[in-house]
Amino acid sequence: MNTDLNSFSTGLPGLDRMLCGLVAGDNVVWQVDTVDDYLPFVTPFWEEARRQDRKLVYFRFARHRELIADPTGGRCT
């Protein structure tokens, strides 16, 4: 379990370095052409959050398929 409650990882070490890490309250916005372009970022973030025993809430406002197939450790809305 991560002891620093304000520090987050994207699950992608290179992206973490590029962003200089994430802290609670950060917003990372992606502009993509298709939801499939976004999926390579979602899965590692979700898996890293689960590995760190973090609770996440996944909101899906669009009609595309769910990007988080297994909401164990979080909640899909």
Type and span of the H or E element at 10? none
How much is the pLDDT for 1? 40
pLDDT of residue 61: 79
Residue 2 has pLDDT above 50, yes or no: no
For residue 19, the enclosing domain spans 7-76
User: Using an 8 Å Cβ cutoff, are 45 and 10 in contact?
Assistant: yes
Specify the pLDDT at position 3.
47
Q: Looking at the domain assignment, is residue 1 inside a domain?
A: no
What pLDDT, in 10s, does the model give residues 27-65? Answer: 888 898 998 998 999 989 989 988 988 877 777 778 888
Residue 7 has pLDDT above 50, yes or no: yes
Residue 68 lies in a domain: yes
Assess if residue 32 is contained within a domain. Answer: yes
Domains in the chain: how many in total? 1
pTM of the predicted model as reported, rounded to 2 decimal places: 0.73
Strand (E) or helix (H) holding 5: none
**Best CA proximity match to 77, nearest among 64, 55, 56, 60:** 60
Domain membership of residue 49 (yes or no) is yes
Instruction: Please indicate, yes or no, if residue 34 is contained in any of the structural domains.
Output: yes
In-domain check, residue 2: no
- Whether 40 is covered by a domain: the verdict is yes
* Helix, strand, or coil (residue 40): helix
Q: Residue 9: which of 45, 57, 55 has the closest Cα?
A: 45
